[in-house]
Amino acid sequence: MAKCAICEKGISHGNKLSITRSHVSNRASRTWKPNLRTVKTIIDGQPKKIKVCAKCLRSGKVKRA
């Protein structure tokens, strides 16, 4: 499942709207997935691979091994 190991950001759901956005426009459901990266990091003294979103990686919440 697409979920960040640090902040637990996951899939969000919503509706796709047409460009005109009129009240007659048909809506279709869609999903937004987080921007996950597989990162090798040290957890409890041992190197492990975890899935981390790009925001956590940029902000320095995770250190690469």
In a domain, 38, yes or no: yes
In a domain, 51, yes or no: yes
In a domain, 43, yes or no: yes
In a domain, 3, yes or no: no
In a domain, 7, yes or no: no
- Alpha-carbon distances, residue 17 vs 10, 14, 29, 33 (angstroms): 22, 10, 9, 18
For the cut 70, the answer to whether the pLDDT of residue 40 exceeds it is yes
Question: How many structural domains does the chain have?
Answer: 1
- SS3 at position 1: coil
In a domain, 50, yes or no: yes
pTM: 0.76
Q: Kindly give, in sequence order, each residue whose CB lies less than 8 Å from that of residue 4, ignoring residues fewer than 6 positions away.
A: 10, 34, 36, 51, 52, 53, 56
**Which token pair is 49?**
């691979």
Query: Distance between CA 64 and CA 6 in Å, rounded?
Result: 14
Query: pLDDT, tens digit, for every residue of 5-37?
Result: 999 999 999 998 877 766 677 788 999 999 999
In a domain, 65, yes or no: no
In a domain, 1, yes or no: no
Q: Which domain holds residue 30?
A: 12-59
